[in-house]
Amino acid sequence: MNKKLLAVIFGAALMLAACGGAKEETTTTKTGTTTETATVNAEKIVNSKCISCHGGNLEGQGNFPALNNVGSRLSENEILNVIENGRGGMPGGLVTGEEAKEVAAWLAAKK
Ligand code: HEC
């Protein structure tokens, strides 16, 4: 009798744990998707507006500095400043507002 009861309780606990686990997984997946969307967005912007000068893999070319490691040289704010205001041969205002921030954050992570 007691064993049976224990088994039922144990079984219920397992089911609860399984449900909890599944829920957590869904949340994780959702967060991952959101982050990915932002990344894809920044990447898309860079791929359409920046690679003509900075190289298809952001590896830099000629007088255009590489951006694939720019995070090791400049902070996110400094990158944002270059994007918004330009610097030397770098035209400012190619990307503005939220998009500029997203791109700056994305580039700042490239080290
Ligand atoms: C017309 C060509 C051109 C385009 C398009 C361009 N850049 Fe640049 N970029 C430059 C040049 C030239 C420099 C170097 C400026 C200097 O030496 O002061 C530069 C420098 C930079 C720097 C500073 C790099 C460092 O190591 O200091 C960042 C960050 C940057 N660009 C980001 C971007 C982003 C983001 C885009 C797309 C929105 C973009 N650039 C598009 C020409 C370009």
Give the tens place of pLDDT for each residue, 59-96: 999 999 999 999 999 999 999 999 999 999 999 999 99
Q: With 50 as the cut, is the pLDDT of residue 22 above it?
A: no
Task: Give yes or no for residue 83 CB within 6 A of ligand 1.
Answer: yes
Q: With 80 as the cut, is the pLDDT of residue 38 above it?
A: no
Give, in order, the Cα–Cα distances in Å from 3 to each of 6, 12, 15, 17, 75.
5, 14, 18, 21, 63
Contact 83, 50 (CB under 8 A): no
Q: With 80 as the cut, is the pLDDT of residue 27 above it?
A: no
Task: Give yes or no for residue 91 CB within 6 A of ligand 1.
Answer: yes
Q: Whose CA is closest to 44, among 109, 102, 108?
A: 102
Q: What distance in angstroms lies between residue 64's CA and the mean position of ligand 1's atoms? A: 7
Q: With 80 as the cut, is the pLDDT of residue 34 above it?
A: no
Share of the chain above pLDDT 70, in %: 68
Task: Give yes or no for residue 80 CB within 6 A of ligand 1.
Answer: no
Who wins on pLDDT, 28 or 74? 74
Task: Give yes or no for residue 58 CB within 6 A of ligand 1.
Answer: no
> For the chain, what is the mean pLDDT?
83
Per-residue confidence (pLDDT) for residue 39, from 0 to 100: 74
Q: With 50 as the cut, is the pLDDT of residue 26 above it?
A: no
Per-residue confidence (pLDDT) for residue 24, from 0 to 100: 45
Q: Whose CA is closest to 72, among 46, 39, 109?
A: 109
Q: Supply 16's token pair.
A: 């609860």
